[in-house]
Amino acid sequence: MNVKHVVLNFIVVGIIACSPNQEYPAENTTCTGEGCPVTDMVLIVGGSPYRELTGCTWNKEHFIPYVSYTDRTNKEHSLFDGFLFLEIVYHDYQNGGVHVYDFSTRSEKEPARKIHWKALADYYFQSGIAIDALDKCIAEAEQRLNTGKKRKVVVVIPEPITAGPNTIYPETPVDYWGEIDGVTLDFTNDSDRITACKWYIDYVRQRFTEGNFQHLELTGFYWVAELSLDTESIISDIADYLNQWKYSFNWIPYWKENKANPDYHEWKSLKFTYAYLQPNYFTNVPYSRLADACNVARQYDLDLEVEFDNKVLVNNGNRGNMLRDYMQAFRENNVLPTKRLSYYQDTDALYRLYLGTDEREIDLFHDFCAFVLDHQSQYRP
């Protein structure tokens, strides 16, 4: 694929034909919001052209091990019931170079602009890629499984990053992001930040409706900022807007128990529908972290995340036992019947594990998928 050509096609700035307060037909019938929880939600990281260069293209074939699983007895099962589409940076390949833009405050390069927000959404709704590819993959699996159930889609909302003096982006103008209806937005004003998020939400809603997907429901959105500090003043307004359309508002904060008053203790007052705590055990901390995370999740009514990356592969770190630790600890701490789970896999570690030929990788793949199925059978909202 010609990545540069794709990027140039994405970054076309024009008037978006989506209207605020417009209800789309599918929103009258779809299962949305708090009444439509996801049991096992896998994170699908993609949207920056950089992913294509590293060999990850979210086409139909790439989704196969996420949509269904064939066990050791050759019986096929439906696997993940939820898919969270997200990205954290955008690599803009222009004029032979690359510029990196942040979708959340990271002090990497520059904050993402409107054209990058739109490019991200457009990536998710390309023909044969991302959400469309997932729908087609499920369609083929349904011919065999015949569950009659739609899978659930959650889409990331980029952070409207404040730039300018006294920020981590001091060289970026305060009005860097772009315009809506001819008005230049200034993200030092909360009202403009909220306006940008509503514009993006409406655009995703419109594009999903236009996709006419047969096996998917758009049920929620995900707040990409894992720390509430920079967005606390706008989160509740965005939650209210999503609630207006009965979409869930999802958050996956990282572990902060070594700091005073971690923000996820107050996730309900921030008006998130669901919050999944990252144990951050895969970063090589003591095994006790997993039990600690389970206790915090129990105390503050948080859900939990399983985390792994390509280091589970035998020739790339051989940390498969750390993924097994998550499964063991979550069983030991009664997580399976009581908590929803999200699954971080870096970009596509589960797909890489699915392709594994080493017996240790094959066993880990089967054991992990069996864990997901076991969670689905035990979990009771």
What integer best gives the mean pLDDT of the chain? Answer: 91
- CA dist 95 and 305 (Å) reads 40
The yes-or-no verdict on residue 253 having pLDDT over 60 is yes
Contact 226, 252 (CB under 8 A): yes
Contact 62, 56 (CB under 8 A): yes
Tokens of 210: 């236009």
What predicted TM-score, i.e. pTM, was given to this entire model? 0.92
In this structure, what token pair is assigned to residue 100?
């990196």
Torsions phi, psi for 108 (to 5 deg): -80, -70
- Residue 277's CB is within 10 A of a number of other CB atoms, namely 26
Q: What angle do CA 318, 86, 40 make, to 5 degrees?
A: 65
pLDDT over 50 at 17, yes or no: no
CA dihedral 29, 31, 32, 36 (to 10 degrees): 160
Q: Which residues pair with 92 in a beta bridge?
A: 99
DSSP letter assigned to residue 255: P
- How many Å apart are CA 121 and CA 377, to the nearest integer? 33
The CA distance from 322 to 136, in Å, is 33
pLDDT at 182: 97
Across-strand partners of 157? 223
3-state secondary structure of 153: strand
**Phi/psi of residue 250, nearest 5 degrees:** -110, 145
Biggest CA–CA distance in the chain, Å, is 62
How confident is the model at residue 15, as a pLDDT? 38
Residue-wise pLDDT tens digits, 168-217: 999 999 999 999 999 999 999 999 999 999 999 999 999 999 999 999 99
Mean per-residue pLDDT, 257-279: 95
pLDDT value of residue 4:
37
- pLDDT attached to residue 33: 57
CA 77 – CA 118 distance, rounded (Å): 35
Percent of the chain with pLDDT over 70: 91
Identity (one letter) of the amino acid at 309? Answer: D
Q: What pLDDT sits at residue 259?
A: 86
- Parallel, antiparallel or unpaired: strands 110-111 and 97-102: parallel
Which is it for the CA torsion 7, 12, 17, 19, positive or negative? positive
Q: How many residues does the chain have?
A: 381
Contact 210, 129 (CB under 8 A): no
* Reported confidence tier of residue 34, pLDDT bands at 50, 70, 90: low
Helix locations, the chain, DSSP H: 3-10, 49-53, 64-67, 114-124, 130-145, 190-211, 232-244, 288-300, 320-332, 349-354, 359-378
16 has a pLDDT exceeding 60: no
Predicted local distance difference test score (pLDDT) of residue 375? 98
Question: With bands split at pLDDT 50, 70 and 90, how would you rate the model's confidence at 246?
Answer: very high
- pLDDT band of residue 21 (cuts 50, 70, 90) is low
Is 259 in contact with 226 (CB distance < 8 Å)? no
Q: How far apart are CA 199 and CA 188, in angstroms?
A: 17
- pLDDT tier for residue 237 given thresholds of 50, 70 and 90: very high
